[in-house]
Amino acid sequence: MLIVSRRDAESILIRPADNVDPNTTLADLFRDGPIEIIVFSAGQRSVKMGVQAPQQLSIWRKDVAVA
């Protein structure tokens, strides 16, 4: 599980992991289960959340994601 804090206008990216075949179907990507987002706390300026996803998916803070 990735735990991250985000402020207004910040985001996360969820995409296939680098080692996943580009021809993989959505059904294959989610065969191990869905994406789950858990909010741990919310303040006036930020939200702390956990993101759990199948291994075939990669989760990045948009500000550090590699293009």
| Residue ranges per structural domain of the chain | 2-60
- What pLDDT does residue 65 have? 63
Task: Give the tokens for residue 35.
Answer: 């994406």
Q: Give pLDDT tens digits along the chain (67 positions).
A: 889 999 999 999 999 999 999 999 999 999 989 999 999 999 999 999 999 999 999 999 888 765 5
Q: In this structure, what DSSP letter does residue 63 have?
A: G
Place of tokens 């991250």: 4
CATH number at 2-60: 2.60.40
Distance CA 10, CA 65 (A): 12
